[in-house]
Every structure is written in C-alpha cells, then in structure tokens.
C-alpha cells in the first residue's frame, strides 16, 4: 500500500535546466575555467556537485563549489519555470510528499518557494544532507525515514537514470516523468 510519494525536483517539479547551465558557466568564468558547452552540460545534467567538480572545477572541492552555487544561484532564478500541472497534481495527492534532489537543500527550497510549491512537501532532502548523491539511495532512504514510511510503501517520480538508479537501490518503485498530464501513480 502506497503511503508517500517522492519527487525529484529539477525536470519534474520545476524546469531549472537553464538556471543551472548559466550558474555552472558563471562559476567557471569567475574561477578561470573553460566555458561549459551545451553538449557537455547536457551529459552531466542532474549528476550532482561531485560530478561537476570532477568534470569542470578540478582545482576546487565539493564544499567550495557548493558555496559558489549558493552565492550565485539567485542570480539565475529568473530562468526557472514551474512544470505545467505541478501545483494541481500536488494538491490532488493526499499522501505525504518529499523532494529528493542532487541540488543542495537551501537551493532546492529557494526553487520550491519561488515556484510556490514548497507547502506541498513534508520533507526536502538535498545532496548536502546525505553522504552520496543520486544514483546512490541515500536521499531516497532519508526521505522515507523523515516521512516515517518503508521504501516499498512509496514511489519515486523522476526524469533521469540517476533517479531511477536511486529508486532501485533503495527498493522504491519508480515512475518516469514526462508530464503531469501523463503521470500515473
């Protein structure tokens, strides 16, 4: 029996693809790194800060880049778009809900607040609150713990192989997101 619903943030609840593209390039520019092209960015989209550091910011630590993201994230939030149908769908689901994201929690909460979706979630678990980002199961398991449910009693709605991998590793059913109009829970 399903007792909670888990959602990825970026690409599911909000479209922040351009926000992050601009942010990553701003951080690269400020620190003398090469620009991050659209194709390279597309390949790394959604993988978490550890991957960003490994690919783009080799002279910096994860903590340093996390701080840089926090410093400049707000400068690019004008690119954020709420996914069509998100608010209506969230309102229609009577179960507790959580967000699991490879974004730091503070940035995720800012995006949810700007999108006017934050009130729908009992928990927001960012990459900075767990040892490993998706596709590791850490965030999914932490969200289940906070909601007081077993992994098998939830479903994770995501749009990437990292979401799918995290769900599988945590023993959580997974639903591929394409749109809220097509979402079957």
d(CA 78, CA 83): 15
| pLDDT (average), residues 87-111 | 96
Dig out the tokens for 180 from the structure. Answer: 């809220």
Neighbours of 178 (CB within 10 A): 10
- Tell me the pLDDT tens digit for each residue of 15-47: 999 999 999 999 999 999 999 999 999 988 878
Average pLDDT over residues 144-151: 98
Give the model's pLDDT for residue 147.
98
Tell me the percentage of the chain whose pLDDT exceeds 90: 95
């Amino acid at each position: 029996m399903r007792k909670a619903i888990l959602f990825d943030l970026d690409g599911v609840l909000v479209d922040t693809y351009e926000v992050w593209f601009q942010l990553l390039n701003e951080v690269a520019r400020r620190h003398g790194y090469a620009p991050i092209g659209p194709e390279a960015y597309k390949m790394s989209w959604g993988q978490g800060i550890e991957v960003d550091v490994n690919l783009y910011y080799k002279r910096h630590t994860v903590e340093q880049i996390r701080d840089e993201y926090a410093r400049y994230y707000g400068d690019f939030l004008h690119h954020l778009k709420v996914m069509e149908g998100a608010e209506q769908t969230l309102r229609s689901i009577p179960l507790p809900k959580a967000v699991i994201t490879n974004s730091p929690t503070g940035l995720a909460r800012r995006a949810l607040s700007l999108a006017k979706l934050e009130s729908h979630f009992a928990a927001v678990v960012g990459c900075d609150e767990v040892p490993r980002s998706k596709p590791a199961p850490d965030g999914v398991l932490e969200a289940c713990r906070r909601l007081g449910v077993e992994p098998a009693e939830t479903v994770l709605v995501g749009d990437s192989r990292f979401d799918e991998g995290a769900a599988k590793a945590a023993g959580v059913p997974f639903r591929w997101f394409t749109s809220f109009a097509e979402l079957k829970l």
